[in-house]
Amino acid sequence: MAKNLIIVESPAKSKTIKKFLGSSYTVAASNGHVRDLPKSQMGVDFENDFEPKYITIRGKGELLAALRKEVKKADRIYLATDPDREGEAISWHLFHALKLDPKKTSRITFNEITKNAVRQAIKQSREIDMDLVDAQQARRVLDRMVGYSISPLLWQKVKRGLSAGRVQSVALRIIADREAEIDAFIPQEYWTLEAAFAVKGSKKPLIAKYYGNPKKQENISAQEMEDIVRQLEGAAYRVTDIKKGERTKKPPLPFTTSTLQQEGAKNMNFSTQKTMRIAQQLYEGVTVKGRGSIGLITYLRTDSTRISEEADRECKEFIRENYGEENIISANYIKKEDKKIQDAHEAIRPTYVDLTPAMVKDSLTRDQFRLYQVIWKRFVASRMNAARYETTSVKIDAGDYRFTSSGSKIVFPGFLSVYQDNEDKEEKNAVLHKVTEGTVFDQADLKKEQHFTQPPAHYTEASLVKALEELGIGRPSTYAPTITTLISRRYVAKEQKNLYLSDLGDIVNEIMKSAFSSIVDVNFTATMETLLDGVADGSVEWKSIIRNFYPDLEEAVNHAEQALEKIKIEDEVTDTICENCGRNMVIKYGPHGKFMACPGFPDCRNTKPYFEKIGVKCNKCGGEIVIKKTQKGRRYYGCENYPDCDVMTWQKPSDKICPTCGNMLLEKGNKLVCADAGCGYMEEKPSSTEEKASSTEEKRNSKEDQASSTTNERPSSGNEKQTVNT
């Protein structure tokens, strides 16, 4: 009997596949990559048309020796690494590292690890797709050239241990731009008005919102709201119009890598890295009671929402048996695929739709179960009919003033029987159904409320993944490692779910923007991804991309070495004396920013927090406002006398005081805004020229005051109002 060898990437996958094949098949694992570019050098031969210099990864020698022994025993070798560009490249590296005979070697791929999928893949074996390999080589060489050219420059100009990356640096800029937008945002005040009406036969009141007079009014000021409330005193309210209707809510599309990562971050509080790690476990195989080791989901790196005909048919049959014929989807709600989508694989779905989450719960960890459950529910829901709602909208008039109220109730749940999100409520504003046209309310409980417009939200891992996908930056396999690198390098701090730019990230981003503007340009990076897709489909020669890219990179690096000033992060001696050894403590720069340390290290290991003064006095206690940081590295401003004084703000305070209420004025873009949002005072921020002139004038006046003064008493500000936390 002929002996066949199948080489996969992971031992977990090999264990799962062995179940499906007879004794004539041996399954071995490469444990990922076996060759790569060397870590100690660029690894690209510039004299030989940018040829990559691959070496065996350290520690893989014994594994390759074991694989060679298996190769000698086999009559046929199947390379079954993951079905994507990186998997294709791993197969190619295995081919060369094991010196395989092309006549005996084939490449096989499968989107799910099932008996049918694996056997069908063996029947449809093929040669290694060099277009996919070259696309991966192009990406690897581009990333290596960017990282190994720019990172040493950052070490030279800032500090060792920093890094730059083709996708990483663009992601950092996106976060930095959002932070700048938030810092410059100036909130605007507006008011809303609600009316509560007692409805006969209902314990709950009817809540209606003020609409207009009678045309819609927006951004209502405090004075306008006072006038509206005054005009409504003693008014009668009449239901003038009731409209009934129906709306549908389409079922969700199955998960892609991006939407699965977003779901994991939003609803399960998983990092993108954790979501991918658990999904990989579910794909490669877990031991399920009564079934052994089986793969529970299809391949997890995909940007397509496509489902195979067989999977679609099986799912609809499952819905027919468990939820009824009427719930089977009657129309395809599939959006048009974006041009950026490669559509190489199906969407992420369960491999066996009849294997419900409840059936495998006892065999999975809590996190594995939660992720499998949401994948299973989303897939089944995607093959079900839309939910239908009965809607009711009501207009209530009081003279020329109009209030409106709307509500809905589910009349056909459809896919909601399986999959609901936080917005899917059974019924909204049910009391509306008890109101009839012409009903008059003699009185209303009016509730006015002050609001302020909100700045754009800080990026979370979920929203950053969504932004990267929409902008065409990176690919499904790059989102998680990109975000993980930004956090591990401390360019970005993660607090709660939000991502904040650190001081170090700000420095690196500014250097990248000034010296390497094209690399951190969103459009340039998206165009590069399109070119890499062109390599994968055979329309672009991969080295032509490198030949066109490298000269510009080299020129930018050479120019930056000359033009960029070194950012000094040297030890600065302070007046603070180390209580352990008597030396003057120095300021050092660590992973979390500046701190004070004894220069006698390692004999003396005394350290203290360092708070940098910004030259602004706290108008609550007279102490200095200093720069502080949260545990995760996010910067804020607070009084040096904390906890006795609790003044703090995320925005930088100015040395000016609000003339209206006495609070601090905060810098927001080119404006100075009162720290008390309720005050609303705002003025133009002085230009740098005006600030210098003002500073010179203040110094001169200070000298004149000192010369003529006969007392050291601090003048009273005459302002007793205290600052509030902002």
Q: Which residues are catalytic?
A: 299
Cβ partners under 8 Å of residue 697, min gap 6 = none
Residue 265 identity (one-letter amino acid): A
3-class secondary-structure state, position 664: strand
User: 355 — alpha (psi -120 to 50), left (phi > 0) or beta?
Assistant: beta
3-class secondary-structure state, position 230: helix
Cβ partners under 8 Å of residue 124, min gap 6 = 108
For residue 75, give the DSSP letter.
S
Residues paired with 617 in a beta bridge: 624
What tokens appear for 33 in the block?
């990559």
Residues 253/472, Cβ–Cβ less than 8 Å: no
Q: Centre a 10 Å sphere on the Cβ of residue 425 and count the other Cβ atoms it contains.
A: 10
User: 693 — alpha (psi -120 to 50), left (phi > 0) or beta?
Assistant: alpha
Which of 155-174 are b and which e, b meaning 16 or more Cβ less than 10 Å from the residue's Cβ?
A: eebbeeebbbbbbbbbbbbb
Closest Cα to residue 615, out of 604, 603, 623, 605? 623
Which of 519-554 are b and which e, b meaning 16 or more Cβ less than 10 Å from the residue's Cβ?
A: bbebeebbebbebbbbbbeeebebbebbeebbeebe
CA torsion sign for 152, 154, 156, 159 is negative
What tokens appear for 359 in the block?
């059936």
For residue 323, give the DSSP letter.
H
Instruction: Measure Cα distances from 550 to 141, 142, 542, 545, 557 in Å.
Output: 10, 8, 13, 9, 10
**What is the CA 376 to chain-centroid distance, rounded?**
23
Closest Cα to residue 262, out of 250, 249, 276, 248? 276
What tokens appear for 443 in the block?
């009185």
Instruction: With both helix axes pointing from N to C terminus, report the angle between 168-184 and 522-536 in degrees, rounded to the nearest 10.
Output: 150
> What's the rounded Cα separation, in Å, for the pair 601 and 609?
16
Q: Which helix (H) or strand (E) holds 206?
A: strand 206-212
